[in-house]
Structure 1
Amino acid sequence: MNAETKTGKLIFEDKFERNESQELKDEVGNGWNTNSRSRANGHKQVDLKDGTMRIFIHETADHGVSVTQPMEFHNGRVEMKFKLEDPKDVLGLNFADLKYKKVWAGHLFRVNVGVKNVEITDLKTGVMDLETRTLRKAGTVSKELQEKLKTKVKRFPNKLETNRWYHVAAEVIDDTLTVFIDGEEVASFASEGIAHPTKRLLRLAVKRNVVVDDVQIYSLD
């Protein structure tokens, strides 16, 4: 296990120490957007409370909650504090480039952090490649492609407790994504899609509930 190194230029920071003007709809501020209007009939799914950002899926939602923040780097690091309140909760960090049109919705790669493991997936050269996605939806994926897709995701056992704050950092260096929790390396995966020239959007992807705080984004270029 290697200790996390603190380097880079800080390009975004949010401690969520502000109040909303109302409690009916998402009002995150500081450049954040959500998919609540399109996916949850406009119902509130993000709440600023006690200096934190609480993300929770509404019962009418037809998709997981996506809370987005623009950014731009080639090599960089995203870090934050987070808390999982239920064993089924998972924090997703999804890196995207909406200008890249050969994948669905700009998806490049993601990190999922749960109570049992950390999972890293190359989406650009995996399941979100448009041609691959079309084949999967049609149910015509060849065995060769199936085997290829298996190489685009890697899972690392790592146990976390519920209702406890942790610090996570996802660091991108060329084609390698390394994940640190509380300063200790817990996962590292090298794949072609991670080397995409420009990461332009961070999506916090949540299928149930997650609490986050102290978000920081660094450029390492």
Structure 2
Amino acid sequence: MAADDLGELIFQDHFDRNESQETTDEPGSGWGTNSKTRAKGNKQVDLKDGTMRIFIHKEANHAVSVTHPAEFTDGAVGLRFMLEDGQDSLGLDFADLDFKEVHAGHLFVARISTKAVQLSDLKTGGMRLDISEARKAKQKLTAEQQAAMKDKSKSFPHELEVGKWHDLIVKVSGDTLSATIDGQLVGSFSSPGIAHPTKRTLRLSVPRNVVVDDVKIWRKK
């Protein structure tokens, strides 16, 4: 996929810098993490050998979330990543924290594992505030809520070799989300929540471990 097709490059990070200490997260370059609130401040992000290594701490009560501003309507995120274990996965979760009709700003996500790519609309599905709160309270969903949950996610089988670098591009165009790995389009999925006009934040969501490098964000509009 040519960079010209993706829009204007608005951010890039090659992680070719050092941290001043090794006790807490210090990713720099505008990145934030949830380690203070979700892992008792323990370090879960390490800059090492020109890469960003993300790993969940044993005291964490939530997946690691590494965030960066990513403001666009249509655009794309590209990066290199490596999964070092068959159980590892990487989520690119797009959010708008100013939008209060969903839990924690969740709009949609592309999740890459060693077996498949899953593309999900969270805004009109599982993270819609009333649905999220009902599920958290273990309440039975109404017929309308159950209907809203249908067809909000699509999975595409795709085997990935562990311990090897892979190139990923996740593209947002209107109501369509697509994922390309190592130059091959793995899948695309269309759903209303993807068309949310203000994507403001990229979250790298890591339930176990992942290594990331060469992050780029493009804005098409």
- Class of the TM-score when normalised by the shorter of the 2 chains: over 0.9
Paired with 2:2 and 2:73, the residues of 1 have a C-alpha distance of: 18
Name the CA distance, whole Å, in 1 between partners of 2:158 and 2:146: 26
The question of 1:208 aligning with 2:208 is answered: yes
The question of whether the paired residues in 1 share the 8 Å contact of 2:89 and 2:209 is answered with: yes
Following the alignment from structure 2 to structure 1, what is the Cα–Cα distance between the partners of residues 95 and 133? 19
Counterpart of 1:116 in structure 2 is 115
Match of 1:171 in 2: 171
Matched with 2:151 is 151
2:2 to 2, 5, 14: 5
Partner-residue secondary structure (3-state), 2:178: strand
The amino acid across from 1:134 in the alignment is E
For residue 118 of structure 2, give the secondary structure of its aligned residue in structure 1.
strand
Q: CA deviation at 1:143?
A: 4.6
Pairwise CA distance, 1:147: 4.2
Separation in 1 of the partners of 2:39 and 2:134? Answer: 28
TM-score in terms of structure 2 length: 0.96
Displacement of 1:144 in angstroms is 4.9
What SS class does the counterpart of residue 166 from structure 2 fall into?
strand
Q: Distance in 2 between matches of 1:114 and 1:187?
A: 14
What's the TM-score once normalised by structure 1's chain length?
0.96
Tell me the distance in 2 between the aligned counterparts of 1:209 and 1:175.
Answer: 30
Query: How many residues in Structure 1 have an aligned counterpart in Structure 2?
Result: 218
Asked if 1:34 corresponds to 2:37, the answer is: no
Query: In the alignment, which residue of structure 2 is the partner of 1:20?
Result: 19
Q: How far apart are the structure 2 equivalents of 1:176 and 1:5?
A: 18
For the residue of structure 1 that corresponds to 2:185, the secondary structure is: strand
Alignment-derived partner of residue 53 in structure 1: 52
Give the corresponding residue for 1:80.
79
Q: Distance in 1 between matches of 2:17 and 2:184?
A: 31
> Which string of whole-angstrom CA distances, capped at 9 and with x for unpartnered residues, describes residues 61-116 of structure 1?
00000000012100000010000000000000000001111001100000100000
Letter paired with 1:170 = V
Deviation at 1:140, TM superposition (A): 1.6
- C-alpha separation in 2, matches of 1:35 and 1:211: 17
Could you say what secondary structure the match of 2:3 adopts? Answer: coil
| Alpha-carbon shift at residue 5 of structure 1 (Å) | 3.5
**Structure 2 residue 127 is the aligned partner of structure 1 residue 128:** yes
Residue equivalent to 2:68:
69
Deviations 1:115-161 (A, max 9, x none): 00000110000011111112223322135533431310110000001
Query: Helix, strand or coil for the counterpart of 2:156?
Result: strand
Aligned letter for 2:19? Answer: E
Q: Distance in 2 between matches of 1:56 and 1:134?
A: 28
RMSD over equivalenced CA pairs, Å: 1.0
What is the distance in 2 between the residues matched to 1:172 and 1:61? 31
> For residues 5 and 89 of structure 1, what CA distance do their matches in structure 2 show?
29
Structure 2 counterpart of 1:199, one-letter code: K
Q: Check the 8 A contact 2:169/2:181 in 1, yes or no.
A: yes
Structure 2: give runs of 5+ residues left out of the alignment: none
- Matched residue of 1:69: which SS? strand
Identical amino acids, percent of aligned pairs = 56
